[in-house]
Structure formats: C-alpha cells, structure tokens
Amino acid sequence: MSEIFEPKKSRFNNPAFKNMCEYNDLMNEFKEDYEATWGRFASEKIEWFKPYDTILDESNAPFYKWFVGGKMNVAHQCVDRHLDTKKNKAAIIFEGDNGDQRIITYRELAYEVNKTANMFKNQFDIKKGDRVVVYMPMIPEAAITMLACAKIGAIHSIVFGGFSAEALKDRIIDAEAKLVVTADGAFRKGTPYMLKPVVDEALKTGCECVKKVCIVERNGEDITWVAGRDYSYNELIKYESSKCEPEMMDSEDPLFLLYTSGSTGKPKGVQHSSAGYILWAQMTMEWVFDIKDNDTYWCTADVGWITGHTYIVYGPLAAGATTVMFEGVPTFPDAGRCWKMIEEYKINQFYTAPTAIRMLHKMGADEPAKYDLSSLRILGTVGEPIDPPAWKWYYEEVGGSQCSIVDTYWQTETGGHMISPLPAATPIKPACATFPLPGIMAEIIDADGTPTEIGEKGFMCITKPWPSMIRNIWGDSERFVKSYFGDCKKDGKPVYFTGDGAMMSEDKYITITGRTDDVINVSGHRMGTAEVESAIKKHPNVAAVAVVGKPHDIKGEGIFAYIVLKAVATQEADQTADELELSKEINKIIKNEIGAIALCDEMAFVPDLPKTRSGKIMRRILRSIVKGEAITQDTSTLEDPSIVGKIESIVRGA
Ligand code: WTA
C-alpha cells in the first residue's frame, strides 16, 4: 500500500470540509435522498429568475433533465449577481506573455460582457440558440466572449488555438456557426504568433453558415480584412451600450459545445446545459479548491479545453473568485515563470497538468526554492495520471510539504470534477484521485454492473445522472447513447461509462488506470486514434496505418504510428522512399489536418499490420510492442501470425 499523507490544516481557515466525517455525512445525505439534496444545493447556490418545478426528470433517459422549468442566466450567475458585494474585486488578473498586466474588476467585467453581448446582437445578429465559434488566444476577451454568449443565450463552441484550419473548419461546419470570434494572434515566448490566417484558410470553402468574423486586435500584426465579413472587436465595442438585460434561459438550454475525441470517427460536440453545469462548476470550485473571498486562484489550462471552461472562467467567476489568466508558457523566459507569478500574485490555489509538472521538474527542479511560495494552500493536477515522482516533487518542492494536493479526475463530458480529494479533509496518496465527490455515484464495475474485486481493474462508471453531465452530442443523439450508455449496465439499466479503467484498494481509494478504448492521452489532451489515422491515410503512399500511445517521459503518452506503404503492400518494392522524408511529409499532413498537438513522435514502416482473419487490427499487440512488453495475446487468430515477429524486430531495431 502506498504512503498516506495526512491532510494539511495549518493553512486552512474554516475549510469547506473539515474532516472525512463531514464528507461521509453529506455523501449519506445524497444516498438517502439524492434528488432533494441536489435540489437543496440548486436553491442555495443559483440565483433563479424563476424557480424550477422538477429536480430531475428521468422520463427520457439517458437524456436526463435537471431543474426543469427553472429560469436563470449563467452570465448573471457569474458576474451580475456579484455586483452588490464584489463590484471592485478583481475578477480576472491577466498576465501577458511579455509580462503586461490587466486587472479586471467584477464591475469592469460586467461592462465588457454587456458591451460585447450588445455587439453580438446588434452588429452580428446573434440570437438565442445561435452558435458562435471562438478561436482565441488566452486573453480576457476569450472569457468575455464566453460570458457575452451566455448573457444573450448564444451557444459558444471554443476551438483550441493549436488546432489547424481543417480541424477548425470541421467544427464550424458541424456546429453550423454563424459567427467566428478570433484574434489577429497573440504572443508566445516573446514573439507574435497568428490565428486570423488560420480562420481565413478554414473559411475558404464549405463554411457558408458563417456570416461574420469578429477580430480582437491583440498583437497588432498585419492581417487580411475581408470587406463585409471581418470586423474589428476593438472598434465596434466602442459604440455599444454597457447595459444588457440577461436572456431568460431554461435550466436545460445549452450553454456551450466543446468538441472532443472519441475512439472512433470525428470529434464529437459535447453539449452542456446551463443550470446543472454552472451549479457543479461552482460547487466543485468551493469544495475542491476551497475558494475563499481573499484568494487568488490560478489554473494554467487553455480556454480551448474543458479545464479552461470550468476552472478558469465559469467555476471561479460563479464562486465570485479572482481568477488568473496567463497568455504565455510556463518555461518562458525560464522554468521559474510559474513560481515567479505565484510569488508576485500570492496565488493560493495552483492548478496544472502532470505534463507541465514533469517538464518543470525536469527543466528546473531547484527553481521553486528561489521563490516565496508560502501563499500556496492547494495544488491541483488534472487531465492524465500523475506519476509518483512528479507528485512527490510537486508536493515537497512546490508545496513545501504544506499543501493539499488535489488529483482531480474528470472529463469534458462530466463538466466538472468527479473524483478528487477534499483539501484539509482527505488523507491523500501520491498519484491517487481518492474518493468520489459527494453527490457523484462513481462505481468500478464490470459490464453487467457487478463491482470488481479489490485490486482488480474494472470500468469507471457513474451510475446515477448528475447535474453537470453531458446532455447530448451535437446533432447525433444516437452516437451519444451508444458512446456513453452502450457498454455498462447496472440493475439492467444503462449507466454512464467514462471510457476509463480504475481499481479500488482495500481502504476504498480509487486509482484511475487509464483509457480502455483507443483514445490516446498526449500531454493531457485527448487524441482519437481514428482521427490521426485518417490524416495519415491522406498521404498517397500509405496503404494502412495504426496508431497507438507510447509511454513518454514528459507528455505521458506520445503517438506511435505503424505504417504500411502502398508499394510494400503490393510488393512492388521493399522500400519506396527515404523513410525520414516520408515521416516528415506525413507529419506535415497531420499538422494541416489536425494541428501540431497530434504530430507522431515515432513511425515504424512495417510490412503489414497484425489483423485477424476478419480484418480487425489487433492494437493490443501493437501497444505491447511499443512498450517493450512480452506478447501475451493469442496470435493464432491472426491472418499471418509471423507478422508479429517481423514488426517487433523493426521496432526494436529502430
Ligand atoms: C484522463 C480533462 C488520471 C482520463 C479534464 C479521462 C485523468 C480524460 C485524470 C478526460 C486524472 C483526466 N487521473 N486520468 N486525474 N483526469 N484524466 O476530456 O482518461 O480532456 O477520461 O478532460 O483524461 O480528458 P478531457
């Protein structure tokens, strides 16, 4: 059994949970009366324009509805309702790549959100339910745009700035977006980089749905302006009123779409609701980050991912907190940047990904000691399993062995944290997400709902609906049901399956063991093998391809591609071209089709793939080979069992 660290109390003043008894009491309250307990929190936390009639409607499961009949507005919940008590409090502290700063109070944020909302309505004819694609750098206008959409009931769909024009175009078309909000570009590592040219490229063909493009001028570099389509945010905003009435939104009206990778096919547009989503964003902010009125909180994610949505913008602002937004990268100008910012802003909660922790550990193990990090109370990690050495360094060197570490397990689809320690209450174990949060009925079961034995791997399922869960896949209800409610059942009823495996120790601690499907987790970002493979197949010389994740020191997993060339497949030649040259060409295609985040770390050019007689590629064998594991799978069902040895010698010899 791994070492247990007792919760730190010294830096906590009246924490959300003082001990595990309080946790158990609340969990029991949920177990005894699930709906009423959620109802209690919804009434306490949300400022309703009209109260809801029904807490949970399960009549059309798994299309669950929460707080039915209620009227509210997420921008009102995050901004306007704080104006009585916090108008002069910093809502957003922005630090640019080059160190420039902006501090935006709640009052200023309300002004900006209202002006932007009016601009969307008046200049771009955006109405409730219209989709707005946001392709933005990490600047306050990204958060302002999100909130402005929420204010008028438009549905935003943020596309991470690292995605290519093709990927952006696919998402624009799928969402049938009417407006794209972007920036000329921004700054990274001291130099300007561009976003607007990517939007221009994406809009070249097939995006007739997009009528206008709104451009924030951030880096001031030259861009092309298309007359009648492209408008300057900075210009138009000047003429708008700072008053804007919130749209009365139903609890279940969609707040946003966020595309994420699945094991097959194209990325899916995960659709979130208004009331249920914001309720859990706020509750987890208060519980897991123990946010207090004087705290300064910093999450290093990008707004293009779910962590940026829930824990840079919606959660902190709903909780009335001060959230830090950072445009740059943690290693510029050196590996002390984060620690310097923590010292300067007196950050109390710092939330980042294991990839960043591993990188900062490797590049500057002694850097944290050079700064005063005594303001820190909570350190968070998210997105991928954290390995014990990285955890220990984070705990000891960054947290000075004085902070609670919250290893938060959740997904784009869950909207907010599912399994996480509660600071000051949960005794923590390195690299362990610990226990489900109160209200979350997380269970490790087999496909029929039988709980797995202690220490045995099983499916990580959430067996009761919860308010912030995914509501649908945009435009594909069938895929929604199949992807999440098709694999596991409990008491004969389909339950939500996360796609992850997990196991429980004797003392009920949960450890996430990783994806059970073909999703690869690169630097905490989800990559679908099918997406990468379909990009690689666009190369004219490629006959077949299979990609798998390969353990990587910094990124957690890297992408490894097994490629069969056409000439080899048709036995015209053993080798068609220089492999190095081919690898470069293939990666160029991936960069164009998806973006640099999906580049292959390694490629092996092999004579064939291990296929069963029915043509199914046995990826498990391919995964074992890259990990250097002995092949334990039965290879006798393969069309050509000798292929395994041939592939092994190519990979091992490489
Ligand atoms: C993985 C990110 C281990 C998991 C919030 C999940 C984790 C996927 C953890 C979701 C964690 C996330 N420990 N694995 N603490 N947190 N994951 O949708 O495989 O980008 O299914 O959401 O990341 O990734 P997504």
Domain CATH code at residue 297: 3.40.50.12780
| Whether residue 152 is found in the same domain as residue 78 | yes
Angle at 400 between CA 394 and CA 404, to 5 degrees: 65
Cα 351 versus chain centre, distance: 13
Could you tell me if 189 and 76 lie in one domain?
Answer: yes
Q: Output the pLDDT for position 652.
A: 85
The reported pLDDT for the residue numbered 577 is 61
Record the tokens describing residue 409, joined without a space.
Answer: 């397990």
* pLDDT, tens only, 200-237: 999 999 999 999 999 999 999 999 999 999 999 999 99
Residues 479 and 533 in one domain: no
Cβ atoms of 384 and 353 closer than 8 Å? yes
Residue nearest to atom 11 of ligand 1 (CA): 409
- Between the alpha carbon of residue 7 and those of residues 12, 373, 427, the distances in Å are 10, 19, 5
Strand ranges, E, within 301-448: 322-326, 349-352, 378-382, 404-408, 442-445
Q: What does the pLDDT look like over 409-426, one tens digit per residue? A: 999 999 999 999 999 999
pLDDT at 635 over 90: no
Mean pLDDT, to the nearest integer, of 575-588? Answer: 86
DSSP string for residues in 218-272: SS-------TTTEEEHHHHGGGS-S--PPP-EETTSEEEEEEE--SSSS-EEEEE
In this structure, the answer to whether residues 540 and 552 fall within a common structural domain is yes
* DSSP string for residues in 534-585: HHHTTSTTEEEEEEEEEEETTTEEEEEEEEEEHHHHTTS-S--S-HHHHHHH
pLDDT digit string, tens, across residues 21-65: 999 999 999 999 999 999 999 999 999 999 999 999 999 999 999
Query: Are 194 and 201 spatial neighbours (Cβ–Cβ below 8 Å)?
Result: no
In a domain, 313, yes or no: yes
- Taking the C-alpha atoms of residue 627 and residue 610, their distance in angstroms, rounded to an integer, is 16
- Mutation choice for ligand 1 from 260, 410, 484, CB with most ligand atoms inside 8 A: 410
282 domain residue, yes or no: yes
Question: Would you say residue 180 lies in a domain?
Answer: yes
Q: How much is the average pLDDT of 10-21?
A: 95
66 shares its domain with 93 = yes
pLDDT tens digits for range 313-368: 999 999 999 999 999 999 999 999 999 999 999 999 999 999 999 999 999 999 99
Tokens for 356, please give them. Answer: 């960043």
- CATH at 595: 3.30.300.30
Instruction: Determine the distance separating the centroid of ligand 1 and the alpha carbon of 624, expressed in angstroms.
Output: 22
Q: Whose CA is nearest to atom 24 of ligand 1?
A: 411
Please give the structure tokens belonging to residue 369. Answer: 């000691």
* Atom 5 of ligand 1: nearest residue by CA position: 411
CA 164 – ligand 1 centroid, Å? 23
Protein residue with its CA nearest to atom 3 in ligand 1 = 385
Residue finishing a domain among 270, 302, 328 = 328
> Given this model, what pLDDT does residue 573 score?
56
Q: What long-range pairs does 547-550 form, CB within 8 A, spacing at least 24?
A: 547/520, 547/600, 548/520, 548/619, 548/622, 548/623, 548/626, 549/520, 549/521, 549/522, 549/623, 550/601, 550/602, 550/626, 550/627
Locate the ligand 1 atom nearest the alpha carbon of residue 499 and give its number.
21
Domain for residue 339, yes or no? no
Q: pLDDT tens across 530-555, in order?
A: 999 999 999 999 999 999 999 999 99
Averaged pLDDT, 509-519: 93
* The predicted structure's pLDDT at residue 632: 83
Q: How far is the CA of 514 from the centre of ligand 1 (A)?
A: 8
* Contact residues of ligand 1, CB 6 A cut-off: 260, 305-307, 382-385, 407-412, 433, 498-500, 512, 515, 521, 526
Which residue from 261, 405, 409, 414 has its CB within 8 A of the most atoms of ligand 1, so it is best to mutate?
409
Q: How many structural domains compose the chain?
A: 3
Ligand 1 centroid distance, CA of 287 (Å): 19
- The percent of residues above 70 in pLDDT, for the chain, comes to 98
pLDDT value for 562 = 97
3-state secondary structure at position 603: strand
Report yes or no: 234 and 183 within 8 Å, Cβ to Cβ: no
Spatial contact of 121 and 129, defined as CB atoms under 8 Å apart: no
Ligand 1: which of 288, 407, 435, 500 to mutate, most ligand atoms within 8 Å of CB?
Answer: 500
The minimum-distance atom of ligand 1 relative to the CA of 519 is 19
Residues present in the chain in total: 654
**239 Cα–ligand 1 center, Å:** 43
Asked if residue 106 and residue 68 are part of one domain, the reply reads yes
Q: 530 and 264 in contact (C-beta within 8 Å)?
A: yes
Assigned domain for 284 exists: yes
In a domain, 16, yes or no: no
Q: Is residue 25 part of a domain?
A: no
Query: Do 485 and 575 belong together in one domain?
Result: no
How far is Cα 497 from Cα 483, in angstroms, rounded to an integer? 8
Q: Which atom of ligand 1 is nearest to the CA of 420?
A: 15
d(CA 339, CA 630): 42
Nearest atom of ligand 1 to the alpha carbon of 515: 19
Q: What amino acid occupies position 62?
A: P
Of 515, 536, 566, which residue sits at a domain end?
515
**Of 466, 487, 493, 471, the residue nearest 410 (C-alpha):** 466
User: Does 501 share its domain with 602?
Assistant: no
Task: Tell me how far the alpha carbon of residue 473 lies from the centroid of ligand 1, in angstroms.
Answer: 19
Whole-angstrom Cα distance, residue 575 to residue 566? 10
Ligand 1 center from residue 526 Cα (angstroms)? 8
Pairwise CA distance, residues 556 & 534, whole Å: 23
Domain residue limits at 159: 33-328
Instruction: Tell which atom from ligand 1 comes closest to the C-alpha of 498.
Output: 21
CB-based burial of residue 243 (10 Å sphere; 0-12 exposed, 13-18 middle, 19+ buried)?
A: exposed
Give Cα 78 distance to the centre of its chain: 20
Pair type for strands 296-299 and 155-158: unpaired
Element housing 531 (H / E): helix 529-536
Please answer whether residues 519 and 532 qualify as being in contact, where contact means their C-beta atoms are separated by less than 8 angstroms.
no
Residue of 260, 300, 305, 382 best suited for mutating to test ligand 1, as the one with most atoms within 8 Å of CB = 382
> Which pLDDT tens digit goes with each residue over 419-459?
999 999 999 999 899 999 999 999 999 988 999 999 999 99
pLDDT confidence band for 636 (50 / 70 / 90): confident
Same domain, 508 and 609: no
**What global pTM score does this model have?**
0.96
pLDDT, residue 21, reads 98
Q: Which of 515, 547, 579 is the last residue of a domain?
A: 515
Residue 343 lies in a domain: no
pLDDT at 570: 67
Measuring from atom 6 of ligand 1, which residue has the nearest CA?
A: 411
Residue 136, pLDDT > 90, answer yes
CA 307 – ligand 1 centroid, Å: 10
Gap between the Cα atoms of 95 and 106, Å rounded? 17
